[in-house]
Amino acid sequence: MKTSDRKTFIAIAAVLGIALTASIIMAAAWISSTYREKQEKFASDIKSALSQAKYAESKSRSKKNGYQVNVAQIGEDTSGMPLTYPENFFSLDKKDIADVSVFKFYSYRKPVEAIFGMENPVDTLTGFITNRFLLTFYNALDKMNIPAQDYGFTISLHDGTDTVFHNTVSTDRPAIFSTIIYDINPPLECRVETEDPGKTFLRQMSGIIISITLIAIILCLSYIYLLRTVFRQKSLEKMREDFTHNITHELKTPIATASAATEALLGFPAGDSQEKRDKYLNIVNDKLKELSSMVERILEMTASEDRELPSGTEECSLQEILHSLCMELRLKYPQGVVSENVPSGQATVPADRFHLSNAIANILDNAAKYVSGTPRIEVSLETDGHKAYITVKDNGIGIPKSEREKIFGKYYRITEGDVRNTRGFGIGLYYSRSVISGLGGSITVSAPEEGGSIFKITLPCRTTEK
Distance CA 301, CA 358 (A): 11
**How confident is the model at residue 72, as a pLDDT?**
87
> What's the predicted TM-score (pTM) here?
0.52
Compute φ and ψ for 9, nearest 5 degrees: -60, -45
Q: Reduce the secondary structure of 336-352 to three states and give it as a string.
A: CEEEEECCCCEEEEEEC
Same domain, 265 and 353: no
User: Please, which pLDDT band fits residue 420 given cuts at 50, 70 and 90?
Assistant: very low
Hey, how many other C-beta atoms are within 10 angstroms of the C-beta on 108?
23
169 and 97, same domain (yes or no) = yes
**Pair (171, 220) in one structural domain:** no
Q: How far is CA 179 from CA 127, 161, 189, 457, in A?
A: 18, 18, 6, 81
The percentage of the chain sitting over the pLDDT mark of 90, rounded to a whole number, equals: 22
* Whether the predicted pLDDT of 418 surpasses 50: no
- Give residue-wise pLDDT tens across range 328-373: 888 778 888 889 988 877 888 888 887 888 888 888 888 888 887 8
Q: What is the CATH number of the domain that holds 413?
A: 3.30.565.10
Residue ending a domain, among 178, 204, 230, is 204
pLDDT at residue 39 in the model: 93
Amino acid at 303: A
* Domain match, 7 and 137 both: yes
Give the pLDDT of residue 11: 83
Is the same domain home to 19 and 77?
A: yes
**Tens digit of pLDDT for each residue in 175-234?**
999 999 888 788 889 999 999 999 889 998 999 999 999 998 998 988 888 888 777 776
Total domains present in the chain: 3
Of the candidates 187, 204, 221, which is a domain's last residue? 204
Model pLDDT for residues 161-171, shown as the tens digit of each residue: 788 899 989 98
Q: Does one domain contain both 322 and 448?
A: yes
Q: Are residues 56 and 193 in the same domain?
A: yes
What pLDDT does 254 receive?
67
Are 94 and 7 in a shared domain? yes
pLDDT 10s digits, 14-62: 888 898 899 899 999 999 999 999 999 999 999 999 999 999 988 888 8
Interval 430-458: pLDDT, tens? 878 888 888 889 998 888 878 888 999 99
Domain that residue 277 falls in? 206-306
Q: Are residues 228 and 290 in the same domain?
A: yes
Round to whole Å and give the CA distance between 206 and 269. 95
Q: What is the CATH number for 213?
A: 1.10.287.130
Same-domain check for residues 210 and 326: no
- One domain, residues 27 and 155: yes
Give the pLDDT score at 255.
Answer: 75
Summarised one tens digit per residue, pLDDT across range 291-302 is 776 676 666 555
* 67 & 96 share domain: yes
Domain boundary among 306, 340, 367: 306
pLDDT at residue 421, as a whole number: 47
